Amino acid sequence: MTPDQLSLSAASLTTVVVIVVIALIAIAMALRFRTEVLRAGTGTEAMNAVAGAVQEGAAAYLRRQLRTLAVFAVIAFVLLLLLPTHGAAGAEGMLLRAARSVAFLVGAAFSGLIGYLGMWLAVRANVRVAAAAHETGRDPAMLLAVRTGACVGMATIGFGLLGAGAVVLLFRGNAALVLEGFGFGAAMVAMFMRVGGGIFTKAADVGADLVGKVEHNIPEDDPRNAATIADNVGDNVGDCAGMAADLFESYAVTLVAALILGRAAFGEAGMVFPLVVPAIGVVTALIGIYLTTPRAGQSALTTIRRSFLVSAIISAVLCTAAAFVHLPASFAALGVDGAGAAIDDPRIVAAGAVAIGIALGVLILYLTGYYTSTEDRPVRQVAATSRTGAATVVLSGFSLGLESAVFTALVIAAAVFGAFLLGGAGVTGLFAIALAGCGLLTTVGVIVAMDTFGPVTDNAQGIAEMSGDVDGEGAQVLTELDAVGNTTKAITKGIAIATAVLAATALFGSYTDSIHEVLGERYQDFLDQSVVFSPQTLVGVIIGAAVVFLFSGLAISAVGRAAGAVVYEVRRQFREIAGIMEGTAKPEYGKVVDIVTKDSLRELATPGLLAVAAPIAVGFGLGAPALAGYLAGAIAAGVLMAILLANSGGAWDNAKKIVEDGHHGGKGSPAHEATIIGDTIGDPFKDTAGPSINPLIKVMNLVAVLIAPAVVGMSALSGDADPLRYAIALVAVAAIAVAVTISIRRGVVLHTDDGDPPAGAAGEQPGTGAGADDARAPGETAPRPEARRAE
């Protein structure tokens, strides 16, 4: 069914108008939650001084990042104008290309706006959570953190639905083509914000931990550590802005895939029902948010899990009711021939697929929570291995990540295959997978609230410690909430990768659907060449998997380089600024913020270029079947890698929390040092490379969908091969080669201009400078505790 054959009835248009109104209500609720948060008390003068520095650093970084992204946006806008659209030609095709390019800018702007709003409120909520913990106790502090996330969650839903609904209203049957640009813009900005924010936050975190905790044995957020402000800034630009943009693009891209496939599978109803499902999510998200009310004697994690579960159950019931009201009882009534569904009832197919997606979210909630929570056996085992040193901590955490990746990937695969079986062969099965993704995202309001909870409570603890105004019960409350926040962040990362897989699989179907529209009767030739044992397809699978590994390596290496620069700067300040350790002199926090800002923005280009250029190189160089294999390899390797990195990093972080709570020797013990090493290794795993894979997968799939008509049109499959395709592939390969070479040659080991004095340098006491980590006796494998103390 081509776009010009499809129009929307008055009833369908009315439904879409109602959905747009619901989107506006979601945005209004976001503003209401924002007001609730800002009404809370801000604590002491010292707290506000720390919070002010964090606010200033976060805003400055994000402004510079968005200016950098504007350059990429302009380039992508022009390229989208040049790429042909499938199913339309002539003046109509030009109009659609222009609309797609404008939609790209709108999607990019919405994604950046969601990220900025998430960061803006988080840096103001953190001091309020710290004040609430100090003045009124755990429950009000937890409620404030949840309301902060609720604001961002409702904004995510509202802007996602508003963008998709507006495009459907304006372009009707051609909406899916235009929404390709919307989804691509959202995904590209999210990937850059994830990578850049992840490098910023973890470079500061790793540098602060290595010098502060390991070399000087001072607490995590001690104001004497020059990297603490940068660390707290990073929590917001990485976890708040980055994850908010990430989940927004998941929302947008899933809707794009569902509308593209829905048009082919369900006709007119397929253009509307995918919008009905997330509209229901607005209602269920509000229910879940208001149900997140702390109870006496109940852990914060249990409260959050309960609200998510109730929200998911209500979503499943309401979506099932909507399917039976909105859809007819047979595919014939939809006006679709040869649907190929396993069950000749679109109501059951749609309701079942949505229910599968919701069930997947619930399973990941408990599975990821089990592998990363301080309350469960796996993380406690990792903490116990700290008694035998850092090596066993690293080994146990990494093996936990490998194990959890297998089970989580199997659950996701079962959901994908279950939805496909329900839909049957062909496009209906792929549409069912897209609907499963829509079902999973009905709880996105609660998901974002869970994720934002983590960095807000982490920052609150940092502000409390740096100000010195919170101790006793208040400090313990913040420590508890911070540990819960680590688990909720890991859970949302698991859900985010699940949405990435569902959306990418559906986009994979959109890619083949685009090829089908271009080739027509010659489509069978593409299928014959795309079998997995075909050499070009197998080569594509290998390259797709390899790109995920290269992308992850580049991200982790970038953190290592930036963290090295932070280590040298913090050591320099301890060495040269007299009185820091005594508390009579103030560190130069701004210099560390400036270092990580410059380094993170400099490192943005290579991973982003790789994500866009690699599919172009494979598609034009090796052909459409190889690009299909490439996407399959990227999805398979991406899901395993992302879960491995997220869960192992989360386990190491919470194992450290267990030791810091007094187990296995407590703070300052050899066990604590061992868990710090594990935590610093896990930092770029869980907060940089792992979560960046989610938008990476979707960006590559969207690029494939966008270039599919050109790839096929210039290949032998069309019957008229164009040699220009090889020139395009060579340019893409050359761009990747240059960018990766420059990145690799930067190296991991840095050297400062003024050098880093060796251990025992004249005038330097053990444990007070660059040589602190080398102050050890013959035969020692770790610094002596007394060599690390400067007091």
For residues 100-110, average pLDDT: 89
Residue whose token pair is 């190889």: 626
- The C-alpha torsion from 147 through 152 and 156 to 158, rounded to 10°, is 60
Report pLDDT for 765: 35
Q: Distance of CA 728 to CAs 83, 188, 629, Å?
A: 13, 21, 20
C-alpha–C-alpha distance, residues 734 and 741, integer Å: 10
Q: Are 361 and 440 in contact (CB under 8 A)?
A: yes
C-alpha–C-alpha distance, residues 61 and 564, integer Å: 20
Burial of 778 per CB tally in 10 Å (0-12, 13-18, 19+):
exposed
Q: Evaluate whether residue 370 is within a structural domain.
A: yes
Q: What is the mean pLDDT of the chain?
A: 82
Q: Evaluate whether residue 703 is within a structural domain.
A: no
For residues 241-270, average pLDDT: 81
Report pLDDT for 762: 32
Of 231-240, 266-275, 397-406, the one with minimum mean pLDDT is 231-240
Label residue 754 by pLDDT band (50, 70, 90). Answer: very low
Report pLDDT for 594: 85
For residues 271-281, average pLDDT: 89
Report pLDDT for 770: 34
Report pLDDT for 354: 93
Structure tokens of 288?
A: 């879940």
Q: Evaluate whether residue 197 is within a structural domain.
A: yes
pLDDT of 786 higher than 70: no
Task: Give, in degrees to the nearest 5, the angle at Cα 667 between 665 and 668.
Answer: 90
pLDDT of 640 higher than 80: yes
Q: Evaluate whether residue 211 is within a structural domain.
A: yes
Q: Are 188 and 109 in contact (CB under 8 A)?
A: no
Q: Evaluate whether residue 198 is within a structural domain.
A: yes
Report pLDDT for 394: 93
Q: Which domain holds residue 165?
A: 3-530
Of 177-186, 508-517, 620-629, the one with minimum mean pLDDT is 508-517
Q: Are 650 and 381 in contact (CB under 8 A)?
A: no
Q: Are 625 and 537 in contact (CB under 8 A)?
A: yes
The size of the chain, in residues, is: 791
pLDDT of 731 higher than 90: yes
Structure tokens of 758?
A: 């060796």
pLDDT of 544 higher than 90: yes
373 Cβ contact list (under 8 Å, min separation 6): 301, 379, 487, 654
> Would you list the DSSP string of 284-325?
HHHHHHHH----TT--HHHHHHHHHHHHHHHHHHHHHHHHHH
Report pLDDT for 26: 92
Report pLDDT for 543: 94
For residues 11-27, average pLDDT: 90
Q: Evaluate whether residue 688 is within a structural domain.
A: no
Structure tokens of 132?
A: 């609430």
Report pLDDT for 27: 92
Report pLDDT for 523: 77
Burial of 216 per CB tally in 10 Å (0-12, 13-18, 19+):
buried
pLDDT of 474 higher than 70: yes
For residues 271-289, average pLDDT: 89
Q: What pTM did the predictor assign?
A: 0.81
The model's pLDDT over 573-609, given as tens digits with 9 standing for 90+, comes to: 888 888 888 878 888 888 888 888 888 888 877 888 8
Structure tokens of 631?
A: 């996407």
pLDDT of 4 higher than 80: no
> Would you list the DSSP string of 163-232?
HHHHHHHHHGGGHHHHHHHHHHHHHHHHHHHHHHHHHHHHHHHHHHIIIIIIIT---TT-TTSTTHHHHH
Is 398 or 180 the better-scoring residue by pLDDT?
A: 398
For residues 197-205, average pLDDT: 85
- Crossing angle of the two packed helices 175-208 and 605-622, in degrees rounded to 10: 140
Report pLDDT for 761: 34
Q: Evaluate whether residue 378 is within a structural domain.
A: yes
Nearest 5°: phi and psi at 376? -110, 165
Q: Evaluate whether residue 301 is within a structural domain.
A: yes
pLDDT of 198 higher than 50: yes
pLDDT of 706 higher than 80: yes
Radius of gyration of the chain (CA): 26
Report pLDDT for 67: 82
Burial of 660 per CB tally in 10 Å (0-12, 13-18, 19+):
buried
Q: Are 568 and 771 in contact (CB under 8 A)?
A: no
C-alpha–C-alpha distance, residues 558 and 568, integer Å: 16
The model's pLDDT over 309-366, given as tens digits with 9 standing for 90+, comes to: 888 899 999 999 999 988 888 878 877 665 566 787 888 999 999 999 999 988 888 8
The 8-class DSSP code of residue 2 comes to -
Domain count, the chain: 1
Q: In this prediction, what percent of the chain has a pLDDT beyond 90? A: 18
Nearest 5°: phi and psi at 89? -145, 175
pLDDT of 630 higher than 90: yes
pLDDT of 449 higher than 60: yes
